[in-house]
Structure 1
């Protein structure tokens, strides 16, 4: 009897093998041969799904982004005070558990690879800047952002702050642990929001 292959599941299996290889060996180790071995497939079978290495890497990169997007969309749909929701969404962008740390490691590896490969690189491809702008806009429109602040500068500062925390957590996981990430981000958000916004949590 002919075995039915779920091609979408097979692509996902290959992409997850790619992410494991990148985390273990870096982008230099993400060869078609290594990925095929990690996924338990022959080179020919792997090339049936991804004809080039770039095609495979792009698919794997999108997988990381899509997983983060799903988690954020789930938070958006939950009924909770706006300050708490914004805070939790921002924390989804940061390595606050082992799975997100793994995703962050491969995302930085992808970013460094594309910046150095000579291909066109869009600094906004991860969607973080756009998300930060929308979150602060929601706080401002709801009257929860401190009115004396420069909205444009605060948006840029929060974007840089989130990227900086992510990088520090990646480079020094012992010092910038999960608890510290939560505490620092919470402290920053309370410093730019009205007192009423986070008192509503109680």
Structure 2
């Protein structure tokens, strides 16, 4: 009897392996054979699910964002989560988020020379930016604070701050552990009038 293969799960397994290889070796050094080996499949199986190396790399980028968005949705399931709780999920404070954010960072460099990658990055960034804005509005409304006229500017500033902290946490990890990343984010949010309230 032929073995039943869960194709969606196989794609996810290969995508997760691609993320790990990219995080460890960078985009240019990532090879299909290494992805296949880590996923426990043949290179033929990889090319069965993805047309070429570029397709699997882009799938890894999409998966990196999916992880961040899924973590945010998990926080939303809690009854009294704070603005800080949901925004801080983007920081590289777990093994999973470090891998995801390393992939995210690797692709920004590629975005400069490749319009297709830039378009994909910007689409995900706008989705992330919209979440920040929505959560900001929720925060102000829950605490009966009038929405600032420059709400979009505040949201953009927070997003830029988080992006900067992600880079510091990845590039200078030993000097930027979780506690320092969280403290720096809290300080910034307080400076713009957003306290870590539920």
Q: Same fold (TM over 0.5)?
A: yes
Deviation track 1:157-183 (CA, whole Å, cap 9, x = no partner) reads 212111111111111112221001111
- 1:72 and 2:94 are equivalent in the alignment: no
Structure 2 equivalent of residue 153 of structure 1 = 153
Structure 2 equivalent of residue 109 of structure 1 = 106
RMSD of aligned Cα (Å): 2.4
Q: CA deviation at 1:77?
A: 2.3
CA distance in 1 between counterparts of 2:147 and 2:20 reads: 46
Q: CA deviation at 1:145?
A: 4.9
Structure 1 equivalent of residue 134 of structure 2 = 134
Deviation track 1:110-169 (CA, whole Å, cap 9, x = no partner) reads 232243334351334233222221122222334555777843432222121111111111
Q: Tell me if the contact between 1:165 and 1:181 (Cα under 8 Å) persists in the aligned partners.
A: yes
Structure 1 equivalent of residue 27 of structure 2 = 27
- How many residue pairs get aligned? The number is 195
Structure 2 equivalent of residue 183 of structure 1 = 183
Tell me, which stretches of 5 or more residues in structure 1 are unaligned? none
Tell me, which stretches of 5 or more residues in structure 2 are unaligned? none
2:90 pairs, out of 93, 101, 116, with 93
Q: TM-score, normalised by structure 1?
A: 0.83
Q: TM-score, normalised by structure 2?
A: 0.85
- Structure whose CA Rg is larger: 1
Distance 1:172 1:128, change over 3 A: same
Q: Tell me if the contact between 1:75 and 1:85 (Cα under 8 Å) persists in the aligned partners.
A: no
Q: Tell me if the contact between 2:137 and 2:147 (Cα under 8 Å) persists in the aligned partners.
A: no
Q: Tell me if the contact between 1:146 and 1:193 (Cα under 8 Å) persists in the aligned partners.
A: no
